[in-house]
Structure formats: structure tokens, C-alpha cells
Copies of this chain bind each other. A is one copy, B any other.
Amino acid sequence: MPEVDIKPDKRTERSKAAVLAETYRQLSQNGLANVSIDEISRASGVSKTTIYRHWPSRSALLIDACSRLGGNVAVPDTKTLQGDLRALLTDLAEQLRTASWSAVVPSILDAAERDVAVREMQTAWHKSVMSPFELVFERAKGRGEIDPETCPNYLIAMVAGALFYARWFSRAPLDTRFVDAIVDAAVQAHSADTPAL
């Protein structure tokens, strides 16, 4: 069995961190397509040679940087679907308004349209961002708040889709009124006590 505890080497860590930080900065400022290795090297002070020592290609670096984009979301537990949804959507709206990754997403979607590796990264990102929604809806189903036959994915598509639509398509303000309207509509649409269609 080989030595498992490898020595980190400060220099490597330092270079990697500087490169990733600058990549992240350019990413959120210029979008995925307009990130340049030369510019990363210039701005970060890390030699281009060193960059290619740690990442085999530009694509690898970009995918590595992108996969660290989304933050970890706290899953609320207010014991009601309405409360949980409001918390989740308020947080998501806040991030869409202020977080830097919000400006990067379209360029990722664009690249994912034609690049398999990017598509896989985007799928993983999407899964991790949306998992709190699945959990919240499953718990609501367990409490009998929504029809057990309703597919949670449809609900997720409507509530998350509404926010994404406002952020990138209609450019409508992502304020409290909007979030509340979405929450109320979603809760009312699939509450278990409404007459079956």
C-alpha cells in the first residue's frame, strides 16, 4: 500500500488558489466563453506554464472553476409547505439578484448546449441547487399537504422556473411581492383539499 498522506506543498496550493480565484472573477465578469488563460496568468501572477501544470487544458480549468460556483443552501424546516417554499424562494431570489454566479449561468447553459463535459457539470450543479426543493416537497407530501400523485418535478419547474424567468428573460424585479405570489400560487395549485381536476 503506497503512502496515502501526500504532502500538500504550499506552493502548489497557493498557485491553484490564486488561479481559481482569478478564474472565478473573470468568469463572473465576462462569462465562460471570454475567459483567457493569458489574462488569468497576468492578473493572478501565476505563470501560464504553471497553470498548465495543474490543469491539462483551458476546458478543464473552466469546468473545475464552474463546479465550485453554487453555494450550499440551507434547507428550511418550518413544518409547512408554504413556509418552507417561502424561505427557499426568498433565498434563491436574493442570490439571483446579488450572487456573482447569477451572471455566469447563461454562458454555462450556452456551452452546455454543445459541449458534453459542460453539460455534465451543469447537470450536477443543477441537481445540487435543486435538491432542497425536492426535499421540501417530499416532506409536504408526507404531511399530506399536496396530492401524493403529483410529480414534484412539475412543481419545482414552476416555482424555480418562475424565478429564473424573471431573472434572465423578463428582467422583472425579484422582490417580495413576486416571491409571495409564486409561493401562494404553488401552494394553492396543488393543495390536497382542492377538488380533483
Chain A interface residues (CB < 8 Å from chain B): 30-34, 103, 106-107, 109-110, 112-114, 123, 126, 130, 151, 153-166, 168-172, 178, 181-182, 184-186, 188-190, 194, 197
Tell me how many chains of this kind the complex includes.
2
19 other contacts beyond A126-B170, A158-B161, A188-B194, with CB at 8 A cut-off?
A: A31-B110, A31-B113, A33-B110, A106-B110, A130-B170, A153-B170, A154-B182, A157-B172, A157-B182, A158-B182, A158-B185, A160-B169, A161-B165, A184-B197, A185-B186, A185-B189, A188-B190, A188-B197, A189-B189
Of B123, B181, B190, the residue contacting A185 (CB under 8 A) is: B190
Interface SS of A by simple majority:
helix
Report how far A196 CA is from B122 CA in the complex, Å: 39
Contacts known (A106-B106, A106-B109, A181-B154); A126 close to B169, Cβ less than 8 A: yes
Which residue on B lies nearest to A190, using beta carbons? B185
Q: Give A193 Cβ to nearest chain B Cβ, in Å.
A: 10
**Shortest distance in angstroms between A24's beta carbon and chain B's nearest beta carbon?**
16
**Residues of B contacting A160 with CB < 8 Å?**
161, 165, 169
